C-alpha cells in the first residue's frame, strides 16, 4: 500500500541488511526509534539489521503543508495499527501477496493477515490492530520465532522487544490523541491514549472459531497439549 512506502524505505534504510538464516538463533536486540518531520510522526520497531519489524505513523501535530517537505499525506498509516514489515531481501517477491507468515510466541502461532508486497518500498507489510493479542504476547514473550511458509523458520531474540513496542506505540498514541484520534473507550489501551475500535482476532483449533470483531486480524493457532 502506497501510504506507508516512505516509512518502510526509511525504516529499512536505517539498518544495513543482514540476511537471516534458517537454523540460526539470533541474539541481536530489538530497538525503537521515533521521528517527526512535521508531516507525520512515526515509531519504528526493528530487529537488529534483519529488515524485520513494525511501524506506526500519525499525522504530525505540526501539520506542515505537504509542499514544505515535498512529501505526500498518503504516507500516513491509519490510526491504532502497527504494520508488520519484512524486507524483500528476506522474502523474495515471487508473488504479490502471502498468507503463510507467522510469529511463534511461547508455543502459540499467530498467523499474520494477508501480507502484501510493495514495489515502491521494496518490502512486504501487513496491518494488524495495536490491541490484537499478538502484540500482548510479543511484549511478554520469552521465546519468539518467525515462520515463512513451511520450510523457513528463524528464532529471534526477545531482548528489547517489549520496551520497543511500548515506546513506538506510546509515541504514535500521543500524536493520534493530539490530532483528534483518541483511543475508543473500552479498547484496553486508553491509559496510554492508544488503540482503536475494530479489534478482532480469530481463535482456531482445537476450539471452534471465535470472531471478536472485523477487519485485518492475526490468527491465533493453538499448539501443544
Residue 6's pLDDT band, with cuts at 50, 70 and 90, is: low
Tens of pLDDT along 45-82?
999 888 899 999 988 899 887 665 545 544 456 888 99
Average pLDDT over residues 2-30: 51
Residue 223's pLDDT band, with cuts at 50, 70 and 90, is: low
CA 78 to chain centre: 12
Per-residue pLDDT, 217: 60
In the chain, the number of structural domains is 1
Per-residue pLDDT, 95: 87
Per-residue pLDDT, 190: 62
Query: Which of 55-59, 187-191, 218-222 shows the highest mean pLDDT?
Result: 55-59
Residue bearing cell 490484537 = 132
Residue 215's CB: how many other CB atoms inside 10 A? 15
Cell numbers found for residue 216: 485485518
Residues 6 or more apart in contact with residue 86 via CB below 8 angstroms: 51, 52, 101, 115, 123, 124, 125
**Three-class SS string for the chain?**
CHHHHHHHHHHHHCCCCCCCCCCCEECCCEEEEEEECCCEEEEEEEECCCCEEEEEEEECCCCCCHHHHCCCHHHCCCCCEEEEEEECCCCCCCCCEECCEEEEECCEEEECCCEEEECCCCEEEEEEECCCHHHHHHHHCCCEEEEECCCEEEEECCCCHHHHHHHHHHHHHHHHHHCCCCCCCCCCCHHHCCCCCCCCEEEECCCCCEECCCCCCEEEEECCC
**What range does the domain containing 121 cover?**
2-222
Tens of pLDDT along 124-182?
989 998 889 999 999 999 999 999 998 888 899 999 999 999 999 999 999 999 988 88
Amino acid at each position: 500500500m502506497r501510504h506507508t512506502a516512505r516509512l518502510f524505505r526509511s525504516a529499512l534504510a536505517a539498518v544495513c541488511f543482514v540476511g537471516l538464516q534458517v537454523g540460526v538463533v539470533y541474539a541481536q536486540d530489538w530497538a525503537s526509534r521515533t521521528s517527526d518531520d512535521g508531516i507525520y510522526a512515526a515509531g519504528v520497531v526493528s530487529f537488529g539489521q534483519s529488515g524485520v519489524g513494525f511501524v506506526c505513523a500519525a499525522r504530525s501535530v505540526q501539520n506542515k503543508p505537504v509542499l514544505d517537505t515535498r512529501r505526500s499525506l498518503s504516507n500516513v498509516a491509519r490510526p491504532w495499527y502497527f504494520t508488520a514489515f519484512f524486507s524483500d531481501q528476506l522474502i523474495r517477491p515471487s508473488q504479490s501477496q502471502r498468507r503463510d507468515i507467522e510469529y511463534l510466541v511461547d508455543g502459540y502461532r499467530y498467523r499474520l493477515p494477508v501480507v502484501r508486497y510493495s514495489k515502491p518500498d521494496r518490502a512486504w507489510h501487513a496491518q494488524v490492530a495495536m490491541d490484537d493479542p499478538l502484540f500482548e504476547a510479543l511484549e511478554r514473550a520469552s521465546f519468539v520465532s518467525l515462520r515463512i511458509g513451511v520450510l523457513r523458520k528463524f528464532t529471534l531474540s526477545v531482548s528489547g522487544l517489549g520496551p520497543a513496542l511500548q515506546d513506538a506505540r506510546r509515541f504514535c498514541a500521543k500524536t493520534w490523541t493530539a490530532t483528534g484520534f483518541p483511543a475508543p473507550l473500552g479498547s484496553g489501551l486508553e491509559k496510554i491514549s492508544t488503540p482503536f475500535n475494530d479489534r478482532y482476532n480469530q481463535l482456531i483449533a482445537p476450539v471452534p472459531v471465535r470472531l471478536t470483531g472485523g477487519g485485518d486480524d492475526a490468527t491465533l493457532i493453538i499448539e501443544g497439549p
